[in-house]
A = this chain, B = another copy of it.
Amino acid sequence: MATIREISKKANVSIATVSKVLNGKGGVSKATIENVMAIAQELNYRPNLTARSLKSGQSRTLGVITEDLTVFNTPEIVDGIDAYCELNDYHYILGNLRFNKRYGHHPQNTEECEKLVHSLVDTMLSKQVDGMIYIGCHSHAVVPIRNNGEIPFVYAYCYSTDPNVPSVLFDDQKAAFEATQLLIDKGHRNIGVIAGQVDSIHTANRILGYQEALYANNIPYNPNITVNGEWERNEGYSLSEKLIQAGVTAIFAHNDLMATGVIEYCNEHGFEVGKDIALIGFDNREIGTACRPTLSTVSLPLFDMGQTATHLLLDMIDGRHIKCGQKLMLACTVIERESTGKSRKEQS
């Protein structure tokens, strides 16, 4: 590995001069610049970023913590982080808490969880990261991270109760409003909801958006046709029976997994999804294009969330931004496929 010193020897100049040339600082003659550059090229010089970091106190490296890298939404957020980093000459080290393998999908043992997170944060701080992003795709486990304001911190997909840490979220309520509105536009007024877990923020906000859409369209809210599931396919299956018996003509499922359960129920019981029953899911998972009929759904701005979180973080690092507990809400987009069918007028 060629160093600045080797270049300086070969070029018969001091290391300071070499450094100036390499960093494009002034005060060097054209001749020396060319000479030094040529030699650097020849020796295949690559700056030692470790040394630079030590001197400057800035690593240009972020720490990214994920709860579960193998859950469907995480990789694309990381991808967004990666893209923004690349654009800004930053790097990042990744740490996966591996909640799936350690605790299953819904971590319980919060004490152990916290210890895990803290130790990861600690080693990342040891690595001198300039800032950190926490991607909390398991909504239940919003671990408040003891940061002491040592370095800038941003949450993505979840938020912390720490008032000093901003977060980047997506707008559940607005998305639910639009999903419901799509069903209403198709001519439905009796719209059931297969909601997520009772204690989830996502569930609450999506119900809010649903109600808002009903209200905006003068449709009375009927609490009996909003039922809760645990995000799993089989609940979509079993709960759809109840809703259909209650006479709904459309169903808003709070995720695609449960929505596919609805499709299965309908297929098996002679209801045609997209005709007898309109259906929309949430998450835009791959299954939605694989099932029949294809599933209308809500697409999450995952890549954008990664980018935005990183943008925010770099701003904070550069002191361009005041640390605050603000929540940045990004919009989702409704994707219309077959399961929502034609409008009821067209049908008849």
Question: Which A residues contact B (CB, under 8 angstroms)?
Answer: 46-51, 53-54, 59, 61, 69-70, 72, 74-76, 78-79, 82-83, 86, 91-96, 98, 101, 122-123, 125-128, 233, 257, 260, 264, 267, 285-287, 290-292
Q: Which residue of B lies closest to A94 (CB)?
A: B94
Report yes or no: B46 in contact with A122, Cβ–Cβ below 8 A: yes
Q: List 18 A-B contacts (CB under 8 A).
A: A49-B127, A50-B59, A54-B54, A61-B127, A69-B76, A75-B75, A78-B94, A78-B96, A79-B96, A82-B96, A91-B95, A92-B94, A233-B290, A257-B290, A286-B287, A287-B287, A290-B290, A291-B291
Report yes or no: A47 in contact with B126, Cβ–Cβ below 8 A: yes
Q: Which residue of B lies closest to A72 (CB)?
A: B286
Q: Contacts A76-B70, A290-B287: A50 and B54 contacting too (C-beta < 8 A)?
A: yes
Residues in chain B near residue A290, CB distance under 8 A: 233, 257, 260, 287, 290-291
Q: Which residue of B lies closest to A82 (CB)?
A: B96
Report yes or no: B94 in contact with A50, Cβ–Cβ below 8 A: no
Residues in chain B near residue A72, CB distance under 8 A: 286
Question: Quick one: which of B75, B95, B126, B292 contacts A49, CB cutoff 8 A?
Answer: B126
Report yes or no: B96 in contact with A93, Cβ–Cβ below 8 A: no
Q: Contacts A82-B69, A92-B93: A46 and B126 contacting too (C-beta < 8 A)?
A: yes
Residues in chain B near residue A50, CB distance under 8 A: 50, 53-54, 59, 127-128
Q: Give A331 Cβ to nearest chain B Cβ, in Å.
A: 20
Q: Give A82 Cβ to nearest chain B Cβ, in Å.
A: 4
Question: Quick one: which of B51, B94, B123 contacts A82, CB cutoff 8 A?
Answer: B94
Q: Give A302 Cβ to nearest chain B Cβ, in Å.
A: 9
Q: Contacts A59-B50, A93-B91, A127-B49: A98 and B79 contacting too (C-beta < 8 A)?
A: yes
A126–B61 alpha-carbon span in the complex (Å): 13
Q: Given contacts A69-B76, A82-B95, A83-B101, could you give 17 more A-B pairs where the C-beta distance is less than 8 Å?
A: A46-B122, A46-B125, A46-B126, A48-B54, A48-B126, A49-B127, A49-B128, A50-B50, A54-B54, A69-B79, A82-B96, A82-B98, A83-B98, A91-B93, A92-B93, A257-B290, A290-B291
Question: Quick one: which of B46, B49, B70, B292 contacts A267, CB cutoff 8 A?
Answer: B292
Residues in chain B near residue A69, CB distance under 8 A: 75-76, 78-79, 82
Residues in chain B near residue A292, CB distance under 8 A: 264, 267
Residues in chain B near residue A286, CB distance under 8 A: 72, 285-287
A81–B152 alpha-carbon span in the complex (Å): 27
For the complex of A and B, 8 pairs with smallest distance between CB atoms: A82-B96, A75-B75, A46-B126, A287-B290, A50-B128, A49-B126, A50-B53, A69-B75
Q: Give A83 Cβ to nearest chain B Cβ, in Å.
A: 7
Q: Give A55 Cβ to nearest chain B Cβ, in Å.
A: 10
Report yes or no: A128 in contact with B78, Cβ–Cβ below 8 A: no
Residues in chain B near residue A291, CB distance under 8 A: 290-291
Residues in chain B near residue A260, CB distance under 8 A: 290
Q: Which residue of B lies closest to A48 (CB)?
A: B128
Residues in chain B near residue A54, CB distance under 8 A: 48, 50-51, 54
> Which of A50, A54, A93 is packed against the most chain B CB atoms within 10 Å?
A50
Residues in chain B near residue A47, CB distance under 8 A: 126
Residues in chain B near residue A287, CB distance under 8 A: 286-287, 290
A143–B328 alpha-carbon span in the complex (Å): 39
